[in-house]
Chains A and B, each alone.
Chain A
């Protein structure tokens, strides 16, 4: 059975939803406290959303120094699957497991609504059950979601095909505005060079069951449970 560690920081608030979503695909999901250093043979680690350490200094900046993050760093270095959702994405950036930074939304408002995104990579442990180009409707809920990186880093992310999710630039057929935060190149999620570490701003755990009104996020968890990333078509989608 797949062991899934959901890391709980002081201020995490999507940990229960994430546990539940992992359990519904048959995983042995459990909470690991931020002060722990043992991930208990985790196959996958999820850093859930929330406001770790009150977002003091910068979102994710303090959580990065939690004892558990050393274990997460080792897990990632060994090729283990890591998914950061929202605040978890911010923590992965601050921990330098992913490049770039998530800045205050361009419109300054906290944005909480469904958005449409396109899946661009299926060769990650969390997106193998989707198809390249598949459009998903997922909730976002963040104040600091504007992804930004140095120009050469952005070029590298595009050249290496490391954008996993992108806000749909074309609003046709969608009642929702594209790009809720002004992120560079409409980026909603990226992966590391090895493909095993993924950070996304949308919340798949809030859209993982039909009873929630949206179920497009369930694929992140079924992909994880399948345990085998599927090969992507090499072509990077044009926007």
Chain B
């Protein structure tokens, strides 16, 4: 079975995110003063073969822990769907 994995990697809450701050200032300058707490992360999509959804999720979690996210500064969210 092939599964499609969506990974969302975000800077950990509380850490300085200068990119998010810069975009927040830009939004404000464009008239979107109501926007706040802008944070910039990264989306990764991949397909993988696995015997089950839980197997796919376990493998994807290993990928995140070893490469896709830096455990010192980033958190990630996983979504797995049959493709």
Contact = CB atoms under 8 A, between A and B. Distances in A.
B18 A57 contact: no
A106 interface: yes
Chain A binding site: helix, strand, loop or mixed by DSSP?
Answer: loop
B1 interface: no
Contacts of B67: 57, 61, 65
Contacts of B15: 103, 148
A150 B74 CA distance: 12
Interface residues of B, number: 10
B22 A100 contact: no
A57 B68 contact: yes
A104 B17 CA distance: 8
B22 A103 contact: no
Contacts of B22: 108
Nearest to B17: A104
Contacts of B72: 100-101, 148-150
Contact of B18 (A65, A108, A150): A108
B16 A106 contact: yes
Given A108-B18, A108-B22, A148-B15, A103 B73 contact: yes
Nearest to B70: A101
Interface of B: 15-16, 18-19, 22, 67-68, 70, 72-73
18 contacts: A57-B67, A57-B68, A61-B67, A65-B67, A94-B70, A100-B72, A101-B72, A101-B73, A103-B73, A104-B19, A106-B16, A106-B18, A108-B22, A146-B16, A148-B15, A148-B72, A148-B73, A150-B72
Given A57-B68, A58-B70, 18 more contacts: A57-B67, A61-B70, A65-B67, A101-B72, A101-B73, A105-B18, A106-B16, A106-B18, A107-B18, A108-B18, A108-B19, A108-B22, A148-B15, A148-B72, A148-B73, A149-B72, A150-B72, A182-B16
Interface of A: 57-58, 61, 65, 94, 100-101, 103-108, 146, 148-150, 182
